[in-house]
Amino acid sequence: MSESDQGPTPAPGPGIRVLGQPAPTRTEAGLEPPPPASPAVPLEDAGPEDTLSVGRLVNPRAVMVLLAVALAGVCGTVAFGLLWAHDQSKQAGATRVQTESRVVAEAFLRDFTTFDPATVGRTFSAIQAMSTGSFASQAKTEFSPQLQQQLQAANASTQGALRYLELQSYTSTTAGYFADVVQTFSNKNNKTPQSDELRLVIDLSLVKGQWKISGVTSLDTPVAAGG
């Protein structure tokens, strides 16, 4: 049979390339055309919506802002912690000064205003022992054996009642108190007890780890007769 008797050559199926002929297009092959390619965006012009194959583009300026905010937060936290610790330390220091120095101030006021013929000698010795500086010299002169003998001879006795004791000022080594004491006293010439209100400023100093009386100032006070 000759080629003319075989009839026309059948057309190739979709997507089939005939040898010696150009490859069919996607449309000719029965395939969907590819989607249009997105235009390239320069890196410096890329926005947050633009992505690379390895992930989202990172804006260096935004990273620096976030880092600055984070560092500011850390610095603020540290500063607050330091201020809080300083305040706590200051309060603890004031509490320690008041607690330790107040004990000595109260002891001095008790000895200064409370004694009788049997205890006056021990009282004077205690006052001198808790004194320092110029007041130590003054206490040694004022609370002398001669005064002790005079008080004993007069059968003098006195009883103090602390009405008020307030810390007025302080440092790590000094403290100042205002004191209000009512002193009731009598002797052989005046057996009816009388009362005297004493308003005193008591100064203390920390000497070798111990609080001592460094000064006593008497303020003008009224005198009231007791019953």
Mean pLDDT for the chain? Answer: 77
pLDDT band, residue 191 (cuts 50/70/90): confident
Cα–Cα distance measured from residue 156 to residue 159, given in angstroms and rounded to the nearest whole number = 11
- Which of 5-9, 159-163, 184-188, 198-202 comes out lowest in average pLDDT? 5-9
The 10s digit of each residue's pLDDT in 208-218 is 999 999 999 99
pLDDT band, residue 94 (cuts 50/70/90): confident
pLDDT top residue among 71 and 45: 71
The 10s digit of each residue's pLDDT in 132-151 is 999 999 999 999 999 999 99
The token duo for 23 is: 């490859």
Residue 134: phi and psi, rounded to 5, are -65, -30
Cα–Cα distance measured from residue 85 to residue 224, given in angstroms and rounded to the nearest whole number = 49
pTM for the structure as a whole: 0.58
Rounded mean pLDDT of 111-117?
94
Cβ-based neighbour number of residue 58 at 10 Å? 9
The closest alpha carbon to 124, from 108, 100, 135, belongs to: 108
Residue 164 has pLDDT above 50, yes or no: yes
Cα–Cα distance measured from residue 45 to residue 59, given in angstroms and rounded to the nearest whole number = 11
The SS3 call for residue 204 is: strand
Cα–Cα–Cα angle for 184, 185, 186, rounded to 5 degrees: 145
Domain borders along the chain are 99-224
Cα–Cα distance measured from residue 113 to residue 212, given in angstroms and rounded to the nearest whole number = 18
**Phi and psi based region of residue 99 (left: phi greater than 0; alpha: psi -120 to 50; beta: remaining):** alpha
User: What's the Rg (C-alpha) of the chain?
Assistant: 50
Q: What is the pLDDT of residue 96?
A: 83
Q: 99-224 sits in which CATH class? A: alpha beta
